[in-house]
Structures are given as C-alpha cells and as structure tokens.
Amino acid sequence: MRHATVTRNTLETQITVSINLDGSGVGRFETGVPFLDHMMDQIARHGLVDLDVKAVGDLHIDAHHTVEDIGITLGQAFARAIGDKKGIRRYGHAYVPLDEALSRVVIDLSGRPGLVYNIDFTRASIGQFDVDLFSEFFHGFVNHAMVTLHIDNLRGINSHHQAETVFKAFGRALRMAVETDPRMADQMPSTKGTLTA
C-alpha cells in the first residue's frame, strides 16, 4: 500500500493529512472550510484515493493560511506516499464537464514543481470561499508534491461548476498518473532513470 501521514504545525495552522493512493475514494475532512472540504472530496472520489484531512487554522483572520497550508501538507503526504515512482504511469490527464463548465487537468509526476493555472472565475467568491485561494492551494501542492500541473478551465458560467470540474479533473488525472502500468513492471518511467530531482 502506498500511504503516508504528515502533520505540519505552524503558529498559523495545525494540519494532519493521511493519504492512501491505493484506496477506494473515501474522504474525511474537518478543516473548518466547508467548500474546500467539498472540493477535496472530489479529489478522493475521482482519484480513488483515501484522504483524511484535519486542520485547525487561523480562520478568524481568513481562510488563506489554512487553504494554502492544506495544499502544502497534502503535497508532502503525496510525495511520501508515491515513493520512488517505479512502475507507475507518471502522466495523467482528464477532461471533466459539469453542465456548461469544462476543465482539463494534466499532471506529470516529474520530480519538479511547476504550475500553469488558467481559471477565469466568473465570481470573486463561492459562498464564503474566496476563489483566489484555489491558486494558493495548488501552488502549495505542486511545490511539495514535486509535480508539474497544468490546469485549464476551458469554459464555464457558474463558478461552483468551474471549481468542481477542476477538482474532479485533478482527481482523475492523479489517478491515471499514480496507477501502476503492468508493462512497466518495476522500471522507472524516465530515460533519466530517476524522477526524484
């Protein structure tokens, strides 16, 4: 089983993330940021990963530190769980629609952090949730998961739909990339022989 638990404590947030890449899509979230919980549930369900995220953050200021630090801690847990990447597909991609909205996410478990983030949200917030924070979440994730991630919302009118298609596509792309490829056996999916740097 490829799984990991990471706890990250700062003066701003206290976060524990457990991830099982070979799970069945079970999500448990107690972060105090319900819309982020709803989005991370998409990662679990569509990524077929088990994800348990507990966070206590300085929400009396705003959700910024909590959302960013959850992205960081999730990235750290992912990096630990994926291990040496032998025998995996490495690349993953998905297009996901939801009514009028359509998003595409492409991931490379490259060992190098990189984010291309292209979402033109039609509203500044979804309920209480500031949509700027999605960028913070994904930056935190890629910088610590050490992956290359291209996120494009191709169209959409409803901002809840825009966000949800991004997170569902992210889950699907992640699932494809972490899956073992039986033809790869225990080979590294790189001519360089390593994906750790």
Interface residues with Mn ion (CB under 5 A) are 164
In angstroms, what is the minimal distance from the CB of 127 to Mn ion?
11
**Nearer CB in complex with Mn ion: 105/109:** 105
In angstroms, what is the minimal distance from the CB of 35 to Mn ion?
9
**Nearer CB in complex with Mn ion: 53/146:** 53
With CB atoms as reference, the residue minimizing the distance to Mn ion is 164
**Nearer CB in complex with Mn ion: 38/104:** 38
**Nearer CB in complex with Mn ion: 34/114:** 34
Count of C-beta atoms within a 10 Å radius of residue 178? 23
In angstroms, what is the minimal distance from the CB of 38 to Mn ion?
6
In angstroms, what is the minimal distance from the CB of 160 to Mn ion?
6
